[in-house]
Amino acid sequence: MATSNISATMKTSPSTPSKNFSYSRFITFTSNNTHSNHLFFIKPSISLRSTRSFHVKNVASDQKLIEPIPQQGVNDIPSSISSDSIASKIKYHAEFTPSFSPEKFEVSKAYFATAQSVRDALIANWNATYDYYDKFNMKQAYYLSMEFLQGRALLNAIGNLELSGPYAEALTKLGHDLENVAKQEPDAALGNGGLGRLASCFLDSLATLNYPAWGYGLRYKYGLFKQNITKDGQEEVAENWLEMGNPWEIVRNDISYPVKFYGKVVAGSDGKKHWIGGEDIKAVAYDVPIPGYRTKTTINLRLWSTKVPSQDFDLSAFNSGDHAKAYEAQTIAEKICYILYPGDDSMEGKILRLKQQYTLCSASLQDIIARFEKRCAGSLNWEEFPEKVAVQMNDTHPTLCIPELMRILIDFKGLSWKQAWEITQRTVAYTNHTVLPEALEKWSYEIMQKLLPRHVEIIELIDEQLLHTIILESGVEDLELLQKKLKEMRILDNFDLPASVLELLFPPEDNSIIDSNEEVSIYDEEEDSIEEAESTDEEKETEGENSWNKTMALFKPDPKGAKVVRMANLCVVGGHAVNGVAEIHSEIVKEEVFNEFFKLWPQKFQNKTNGVTPRRWILFCNPDLSSIISKWTGTEDWVLDTEKLAELRKFADNKDLQNEWRAAKRNNKTKIVSFIKERTGYVVSADAMFDVQVKRIHEYKRQLLNIMGIVYRYKKMKEMSAEERKAKFVPRVCIFGGKAFSTYVQAKRIVKFITDVGATVNHDPEIGDLLKVVFVPDYNVSVAEWLIPASELSQHISTAGMEASGTSNMKFSMNGCVLIGTLDGANVEIREEVGEDNFFLFGARAHEIAELRKERAEGKFVPDPRFEEVKAYIRSGVFGSSNYNDLMGSLEGNEGYGRADYFLVGKDFPSYIECQEKVDEAYRDQKRWTRMSILNTAGSYKFSSDRTIREYAKDIWNINPVDLH
């Protein structure tokens, strides 16, 4: 690929990068014979010393576009790219890299040709970026994630290249509109929610800030699922994002790695362990270039797809008619990358999920190591590996990186256990994203041992080493306390203690060690009544044996309990850094989730409050607001330096700014009115407040609290006259969006209930535009880019202490949306930055939750009468014939699975509806509301992913930015 002549400098802090970038040029020299065209790809070594004209046939209109090529060398960077030049590139791809028939130049074909023309520029910059990284071998960060929720790439890419205007003009000349062309792009179905969107924001910031980095994920054929909303609620169908191909990806058929499952481990004559037999597949690389903003730096997202070699196709079985057997190996391999998070209720589903995680880890680490070895050339030194490589595990899904890196270093590179362990710990770091006990990933030991036998051996040794560390650090004076520590901290849960650990607890010279597998009688205080007479030798011996049995019983596993591998514990032990993603979350991680680990290794624990990219989430999705911000701050630099957003505080009461601000919000709301009509059929008013809750459907995120508040509002409206309703309530359009996982029954009940409430409320002539309830189907990044700029109130109402951070709350605040929420996740820091008066707060605090649940279990909770009133109203049948007993029943009782209101909807309900009354009051005063809106944008500067990435780079990865000129 053609690249410009590029130099680079290492810097300890980023500076504003160059706006220039290189482009490859495609030139068709046309003779009088229209059938004799010769295409030349001009390489950097060729200088163009004369001016030439060229044209490409316009398949849309047959017109000829003439572009003079100035007298220059291709190594010279052009000062600007003309729309005519871009149009020529688009037409070239329409004709020579077709994905559609040649007869027409319709909008879908225009999208592919446009995307491919942009990709040319990205590949040129990508090649230049990594040529430099390879040449100078600086340290690089590798971000491993099961999800990358990228969203549409076209507008983001040309925006980062600062070519939105020229591309819009070029497409107009070709008979198309950029916005319509961009709509043809499906969202890449590589993620589910905040975890994947965070990863994508991080890649954008890494490229923009010129950090040497790379993302690794899986190339899912169908992603999670496409959500349809029917009369029965949510319906899942396969996502079709790859059906027409993906113009952004580059398949690297020459880059593939073997991945093994099952088999057995044997000791070789060389003394090494060998993992043999089993099932072998191949992971093939697909690369997606990620451009930075105002910089040539273009980093890479490498996605793995799985297959088997052609020789694994059973030709004889096919010819004999057994077609299923013939394709069996290929089917087994390919299904690993079919969908994101396959259902794991079955054994097959669990195995498939574990295969996905190991494929990501194994292929990525093999690739990272191959790149390290290539860059080191003849001076390979494994001790330098952590000085050149940083691996970040985004949640626990990539945990197998730890035993996999150990396996490669020991079994293939010949390192000792001590060397490999030190290298692994210095290389790997872990981001925790949850405090929910059920979400702290655990894997069945039996499944893992069957699927990954060598890794289980390594994990067992890591666990044994951890036990030694804990015992040596804690001592053996208080065995009950030690047992609690070991129970909490072990990687292998519900296992016997290894023999080497028993020797630490009970040295052979002091005790006759009982086999840890023997039956141990549990000491019973009630049956042990030793008389106060002088003991005989035999009695003393019996007493000692009872004491021994009691001590051993402390450390015996539960015979009825499952043996599991605790992945989060392995992450903490195997990495050098553990970070939470918001200040309150990181404190909970230290004080509750991993408290014993924190006391053992306090230096490992950090906070890295999440952030979102201001490019996609203000500049590109909200151009009206962006123009206003640039005008009133006097600069466009806020896009790279969000601290400049704070300048808006000076003008929060300025009448002219407020008028412009309201006009921008109104314009965005008008677009959503059309969008809602198109997606749902409902007609809503742009004069109403747009009240939005869009996120994954989960009980802890409490969409149920929101919809029950709406039901309460609706019931009160029905009890009033028209005049009373108008005086009491501000008109609202309540918008929901998000997917419930396909096997999460309670979440799907919530979706169904929301749609039932909407069907009733939206057709009630008495209520009219005073209240509408809309569930937007198939919520994704592109829908968010429409909804967030139009939102006025956004709900972030999770049970305090349950949400790690949240990132949508940051996007809403950046776009001048006022939040209603609990003191949970990043809400705490957002409220601090935007000001308490500009955030609607309600609900119990995180430190109160445990006591409130205890109070409930003891039968002391007394529900608010308004809460009981709403439940009775729902059960009355007003929202249709569906049975809501299971949904309402989950909020009742004092204990039991699926009952007892674990997420405290009933406890926070009165506080919530009272807070909503304050929202109405504030919204009536539009001057006050607009001021609140402006101050939310002004206070959102902290929540840029640029700030987050700088902190990761400095505190965890130890990498420096590299400016390419």
Least confident segment among 239-248, 531-540, 642-651, 673-682: 531-540
323 or 385: which leads in pLDDT: 385
Per-residue pLDDT at 535: 53
482: pLDDT strictly greater than 90: yes
* Extended beta strands in 770-809, E state: 771-776, 793-796
211: left (phi over 0), alpha (psi -120 to 50) or beta: beta
Q: What is the pLDDT at residue 547?
A: 61
- Do 388 and 560 touch, CB atoms closer than 8 A? no
Q: Which of 944, 733, 708 is nearest to 833 (CA)?
A: 944
Which residues lie below 8 Å from residue 952, measured CB to CB, with a gap of 6+?
Answer: 141, 202, 392, 608
pLDDT (0 to 100) of residue 613: 98
The catalytic position among 208, 424, 431, 807 is 807
Per-residue pLDDT for 48 more than 60? no
Q: Out of 173, 260, 695, 752, pick the active-site residue.
A: 695
Q: Is 230 exposed, middle or buried (0-12, 13-18, 19+ CB in 10 A)?
A: exposed
- pLDDT tens digits, 120-138: 999 999 999 999 998 889 9
104 catalytic residue (yes or no) = no
Q: For residue range 177-189, list pLDDT tens digits in order.
A: 999 999 999 999 8
Give yes or no: 701 in active site.
Answer: yes
pLDDT of residue 885: 93
CA distance 397 to 360: 9
Task: Give the bridge partners for 143, in sequence order.
Answer: 215, 392
Query: What is the pLDDT averaged over residues 48-71?
Result: 34
Alpha helix positions (H), 335-410: 347-376, 385-388, 401-407
User: Out of 1.10.1060.10, 1.20.1440.120, 3.30.450.30, 3.40.50.2000, which CATH number does the structure's domain 685-943 have?
Assistant: 3.40.50.2000
Instruction: Indicate whether 71 pLDDT > 70.
Output: no
Is the pLDDT reported for residue 59 higher than 60?
no
Report how far residue 825's alpha carbon sits from residue 822's, in angstroms, rounded to the nearest whole number: 9
Let me know if 644 is a catalytic residue: no
Please provide residue 267's backbone torsions phi and psi, each rounded to the nearest 5 degrees. Answer: -95, 130
The span from the CA of 126 to the CA of 121, in Å, is: 8
Contacts of 158 (CB under 8 A, 6+ apart): 118, 164, 167
Q: DSSP string of 203-252?
A: HHHHHHTT--EEEEEE--SSBS-EEEEETTEEEEE---TTTT--TT-EEE
Q: Is the pLDDT of residue 488 over 90?
A: yes
Q: Which residues pair with 273 in a beta bridge?
A: 267
pLDDT score for 748 = 97
Angle at which helix 905-924 crosses helix 703-718, to 10 degrees, equals 60
Measured CA to CA in angstroms, residue 449 lies from 279, 349, 360, 702 at distances of 14, 16, 18, 38
Q: Residue 58: its pLDDT value, please?
A: 36
Separation between Cα atoms, residue 420 and residue 21, nearest integer Å? 42
Q: Is 907 a catalytic residue?
A: no
Report the distance separating Cα 569 and Cα 491, nearest Å. 5
- Measured CA to CA, the distance from residue 507 to residue 126 in angstroms comes to 60
Amino acid code (one letter) for 826: A
pLDDT in tens, 241-288: 999 999 999 999 999 999 999 999 999 888 889 999 999 999 999 999
State the chain's mean pLDDT as an integer. Answer: 89
Q: What is the pLDDT of residues 553-582, one digit of tens each?
A: 788 898 889 999 999 999 999 999 999 999
Helix (H) or strand (E) holding 493: strand 492-493
CA distances from 153 to 196, 248, 258, 834 (A): 15, 8, 30, 31
Q: Which of 433, 616, 702, 772 is catalytic?
A: 433
Give the residue among 108, 109, 335, 303 at the shortest CA–CA distance from 222.
335
Q: Is residue 695 annotated as a catalytic residue, yes or no? A: yes
pLDDT in tens, 191-228: 988 999 999 999 999 999 999 999 999 999 998 899 99
Helices 703-718 and 865-875: crossing angle, nearest 10°? 80
* 850-856 mean pLDDT: 96
Q: How confident is the model at residue 527 (pLDDT cuts 50, 70, 90)?
A: very low
| pLDDT: which is higher, 113 or 27 | 113
Residue 634 exposed, middle or buried by CB count within 10 Å (0-12, 13-18, 19+): exposed
* Pair of tokens at residue 254: 């020459």
* Per-residue pLDDT tens digits for 803-841: 999 999 999 999 999 999 999 999 999 999 999 999 999
Beta-bridge mates of residue 258? 282
The arithmetic mean of pLDDT across residues 852-868, rounded, is: 97
Question: What mean pLDDT do residues 607-631 have?
Answer: 98
What is the rounded average pLDDT of the residues 917-930? 98
Q: Which DSSP state fits 223?
A: B
Residue 1 has pLDDT above 70, yes or no: no
Instruction: Quote the pLDDT of residue 286.
Output: 98
Q: Which of 91, 302, 397, 701 is catalytic?
A: 701
How far apart are alpha carbons 127 and 923 in whole angstroms? 52
Maximal C-alpha separation, the chain:
121
Closest CA to 842 of 910, 912, 903: 912
C-alpha closest to that of 941 among 607, 581, 618, 587: 618
Residue 72 pLDDT: 30
Q: Is the pLDDT of residue 68 over 90?
A: no
Range from 19-23, 611-615, 645-649 carrying the lowest mean pLDDT: 19-23
| Residue 418: how many other CB atoms lie within 10 Å | 8
957 neighbors 138 (Cβ within 8 angstroms): no
pLDDT at 42 over 50: no
Beta-strand pair 962-964/226-230: unpaired
* Confidence band, pLDDT 50/70/90 cuts, at residue 20: very low
Q: Which of 696, 698, 772, 856 is catalytic?
A: 696
What pLDDT shows up at residue 555? 86
Active site residue 965: no
| CATH topology assigned to domain 83-437 | Rossmann fold (3.40.50)
What predicted TM-score, i.e. pTM, was given to this entire model?
A: 0.89
How many CB atoms neighbour CB 129 within 10 A? 27
- Predicted confidence band at 525 (pLDDT cuts at 50, 70, 90)? very low
E strand spans, 724-810 = 732-737, 771-776, 793-796
Q: How confident is the model at residue 846 (pLDDT cuts 50, 70, 90)?
A: very high
Q: What pLDDT, on the 0 to 100 scale, is given for residue 548?
A: 62
Q: List where CATH 3.40.50.2000 sits in the chain.
A: 83-437, 685-943
Q: How far is CA 14 from the centre of its chain?
A: 25
pLDDT value at residue 539: 59
Instruction: Tell me which of 811, 831, 871, 942 is the catalytic residue.
Output: 811
Across 741-755, average pLDDT: 96
Residues in the chain, total:
965
pLDDT of 530 above 70:
no
Q: What is the mean pLDDT of residues 943-960?
A: 98
For residue 82, pLDDT over 60 is answered with yes
Per-residue pLDDT, 631? 98
Is pLDDT of 25 > 60?
A: no
Average pLDDT over residues 753-773: 97
